[in-house]
Structure 1
Amino acid sequence: MRIEKTHDSVLADFASGFSGFPESVLHEGRRSLVNIFATAFTGCREEPTKAMLAAALPFSSGSHCTLIGRPDRVDLPLAASINTAGANIFDFDDTHEATIIHPAAAVFSALFAHAEIHGTCGRDVLEAFIIGCEVECRIGNAVSPYHYAHGWHITSTCGIFGAAAASGRLLGLTSEQMIDAFSCAASQSAGMAEMLGTGAKSVSMGNAARNGYMSAILAAHGCGGTDAPLTARLGYLNVYSDTPAPEALTDDLGQIWEFATNTYKPYPVGIVLNPVIQGILDLREHHGLSLDQITGIELFGHPLLQERTDRPRAATGRTTQVSAQHAIAIALLTGTATLDEFSDEAAQRTLNIGRPEVSFIDEPDRDITSVRIVVHLKNGQSMTQDITDAAGSRKNPMSDAQLEAKLMAAASRAGSSCDNRALLDALWSIDTSANAGNIIRMTGA
């Protein structure tokens, strides 16, 4: 009698054994690696990463693995944790628009740390990276929209599965062992949206990377779980969502790639603020709009815009990255939106000068990459700006050259001595690398 495979087993088969990657997907993998190395430089010396390193370093059991942008060398689990925390700390990394997951951060770090120790070839690392990101996004689809809206930090909670799948792929787990890795990951999945803008968010991201890798290691050593950790009655989907969609795990798996819809940010803010910043910068450049002209602003946007960014009194650099009021004010004052515009100093500047009154009008059918901005002026007139597909969105993506510039700017800002051109060339040609560990070694201070 033929036994029907579960969604769990089909996903595990895919993670452990898929081959035949389309070139377009492989290239998206390279693009994603360029972007995640860029954002790893941006956060490598921030206070939360320094605190995480200081707390854990006395317990590190080795010095085999590189920390991006830092001189320290640590054991593999700690390298995975710190490099992931640094890469995601500013939420300047990639975004899967359907779920608001930042797929690469939890996945990449353990793979390169593993390669440093084991000399893993670049093609295997690239394929494992893509597999991990795909698994992560599909699990995100299966628990959305309830999961994130209910307060789970979806990049952490689903990121652990991506890290487990990618690491398990490199370790050569069988399909059955991959299900065990999913079980171990499900038991450790955690992270709360309440912690966005704080160091605690980076802790959950570091845990996703480290514990995802350890989930694969545990499975390789025989630590088992249930047959359906994702889809059982009390499995992950049903516990973490009130509208689970198990079919999202496997529909057209290997044919339609969620990872291929990945996007990359031109501004270091929550993705829902990208169209707002672009629209405000356009009004400033083309119509001379200045902060002192404004009596109020209306934002017609996706409900997540208000839910995540209505923070008129955000007082730190981290929280201003999810503050529409600050983002509008600082963009008008400076005419740009780099990491410097979302610092503690910039936060105090806009608080002292005064931020505009912002009204949010929720439009549930609106795409998160679009917004209508209506600016009310002191002279009684108004200005309107519509952004349909913000820069960096799926329909208006960053180019390869823009991603390269992002990495170079980030490495320079971090004071890195890395040969950026050599690093970029190595990432673009990772398929041909005999040892991907050599790539991350280039990034240490």
Structure 2
Amino acid sequence: MYLTEHFASFIAHTNYEDLPQDVIVQAKERIMDTVGAAIAGCCNWEYAQSFRQAIAALGTGHCSVLGGNAIYSPAHAAMINATFAHAVELDDGHKNAGCHAGAVVVPTALVLGQEFKRSGREILVAVVLGYEVVYRIASHMNPKQINKGFHPSSNCDVFGAMAVAGKLMGLNEKQLANGLGQAGMLASGTMEATCSGQRSKCVQVGNAAYSGIMAAFLAAQNMEGCLSALEGKDGLFHTQSEQVDADDVIRDLGVVYSIANTYNKMYPSCRHAQPGIEAVLDLAQEHQITPEQVEHIWIGTHQVAYDLTGIIKAPQNSGQAKFSLAYGSAVALMDHCFGVGHLTAPSYTNPDYLALAERVTCAVDPSVQAKFPQQRGAKVEIILNDGRTYEKELYDLKGSPNNPVGWAELEAKFLANAAAMLSADRSKSLVQQFRCLDQQDDIAALTQLLL
């Protein structure tokens, strides 16, 4: 059997009753967190309205999207909301995969769940399955996939979208396998988007939702897919990675769930920058350090983090602000926080932030690099004008599997993001809908609150 067929069997035969209770709770948290990230993207991504207009020009339907009218096809609606979910880098990810499943899996589940009038339990199952497929594939391709220039979320999330769509559409095992094969043929997206066009990088993640849904609809018509799309001679494992153990990809499938290894992003920046930002934030708070006291900040990290975030010191736009470790660290020290508001022009052009960012040096640290990709962290030294030096080495960020935040903190994050678009009462009602999702016969009440 090919991996597509193994995954197809898993998708077809997994039901709500098969899921451990802690996995169900984690799925609810993933849904709430991703919807919050999507609202933040809808309200803060400068291309949001232009993107909605562009997609509407491709064809209309009856599905609604965040901040827009009910005029989109299901695939286009999921694409728009998925793009928003990744737009300000607040979406969750996997500790070893270098990949963000939630941005695609959750919008796909909510749009198609509404389209096919599925219950909350069916939505939760689909979300768990989507995460599982994405993270098992991506974690076995990292870091070679990134090193070869392929963007993991854009390429691997298409399999998650197809898994979600196929489950909610009720495809049989053969159709699911063909759909996953189609998804492999449609996988796309490169890391060059982190270097040029950062503000539009999220579109290729949104496209994974569209392509995954298209793969499912093709499979529903019994169109064959490339069953060897993953482990075949010219499949993703060989073209985008190296020496992937296909047997290990599905080891303990249905016993160990990858959603448990999801991290939450507490700052709107590339995950590779966040250990350095959080370490600076912690040192500034612990020792009451002010910018005037700082002579220099040194941040040692791993090669991927340096390549993606260690070069830009003076961001020219919001995209660069999300990928500047120096800027994010300067903001964290000055404001004792780093939020979506810091991605706006008044912030990234602020001369005080930029002056401090100039005193930040980022470099590859051999000891940090040696722990990558199993651990992604940073070493930080803050050197003061009077000669005092404060140091911190950080790997388990706030919100990581080894340093988790609970429902209360995720709820607070959601309410803060939702405030940009929804009233406090609506936001609190949504939280209750997320918490009790498995008690709902359909998700109409939930989606109505987002209009």
* TM-score bucket of the superposed structures, by smaller chain: over 0.9
SS in 1 for 2:149: coil
Equivalent pair of 2:198/2:319 in contact (CA under 8 Å): yes
Q: How many residue pairs get matched?
A: 439
Equivalent pair of 2:158/2:187 in contact (CA under 8 Å): yes
> Is 1:189 the equivalent of 2:190?
no
Residue 269 of structure 1 and its aligned partner are, at CA, apart by: 1.4
The ranges of structure 1 where at least 4 consecutive aligned residues each deviate by more than 6 angstroms after the TM superposition are none
Q: Deviations over 1:92-116 (max 9, x none)?
A: 0111010121111111222222222
- For 2:89, give the aligned amino acid: D
- For 1:13, give the aligned amino acid: S
- For residue 8 of structure 1, the aligned residue among 4, 15, 27 is 4
Residue 418 of structure 1 and its aligned partner are, at CA, apart by: 6.6
Please list every run of 5 or more consecutive structure 1 residues that lacks an aligned counterpart in the other structure.
none
Residue 297 of structure 1 and its aligned partner are, at CA, apart by: 2.2
Superposition pairs of residues 96-245 of structure 1, within 5 angstroms: 96-196=94-194, 198-245=198-245
Give the structure 2 partner of residue 320 of structure 1: 321
Equivalent pair of 1:146/1:243 in contact (CA under 8 Å): no
Distance 1:73 1:182 in 2: 28
From the superposition, tell whether residues 354 and 384 of structure 1 become closer, same or farther in structure 2 (CA, over 3 Å).
Answer: closer
From the superposition, tell whether residues 352 and 299 of structure 1 become closer, same or farther in structure 2 (CA, over 3 Å).
Answer: closer
The alignment's TM-score, normalised by the length of structure 2, stands at 0.92
Distance 1:345 1:368 in 2: 34
> Is 1:421 the equivalent of 2:428?
yes
Residue 72 of structure 1 and its aligned partner are, at CA, apart by: 4.8
Equivalent pair of 1:369/1:393 in contact (CA under 8 Å): no
Give the structure 2 partner of residue 342 of structure 1: 343
Residue 433 of structure 1 and its aligned partner are, at CA, apart by: 0.9
Superposition pairs of residues 8-157 of structure 1, within 5 angstroms: 8-19=4-15, 20-45=18-43, 46-63=45-62, 65-157=63-155
From the superposition, tell whether residues 388 and 230 of structure 1 become closer, same or farther in structure 2 (CA, over 3 Å).
Answer: closer
Residue 254 of structure 1 and its aligned partner are, at CA, apart by: 0.8
Residue 388 of structure 1 and its aligned partner are, at CA, apart by: 4.3
Identity %, equivalent residues: 24
Equivalent pair of 1:44/1:70 in contact (CA under 8 Å): no
Distance 1:227 1:288 in 2: 58
RMSD: 1.9
Residue 369 of structure 1 and its aligned partner are, at CA, apart by: 4.7
Distance 2:400 2:376 in 1: 6
From the superposition, tell whether residues 58 and 7 of structure 1 become closer, same or farther in structure 2 (CA, over 3 Å).
Answer: closer
Superposition pairs of residues 346-385 of structure 1, within 5 angstroms: 346-350=347-351, 352-355=354-357, 356-362=359-365, 363-366=368-371, 368-385=375-392
Give the structure 2 partner of residue 276 of structure 1: 276
SS in 2 for 1:241: coil
Give the structure 1 partner of residue 396 of structure 2: 389
Residue 73 of structure 1 and its aligned partner are, at CA, apart by: 4.1
Distance 2:355 2:347 in 1: 11
Residue 60 of structure 1 and its aligned partner are, at CA, apart by: 2.9
The alignment's TM-score, normalised by the length of structure 1, stands at 0.93
Distance 2:422 2:3 in 1: 46
- For 1:280, give the aligned amino acid: V
Query: In terms of mean alpha carbon deviation, does 9-18 or 385-394 score higher?
Result: 385-394
- For 1:124, give the aligned amino acid: E
- For 2:304, give the aligned amino acid: L
Residue 379 of structure 1 and its aligned partner are, at CA, apart by: 2.9
Equivalent pair of 2:98/2:139 in contact (CA under 8 Å): no
From the superposition, tell whether residues 359 and 204 of structure 1 become closer, same or farther in structure 2 (CA, over 3 Å).
Answer: closer
Query: In terms of mean alpha carbon deviation, does 116-125 or 78-87 score higher?
Result: 116-125
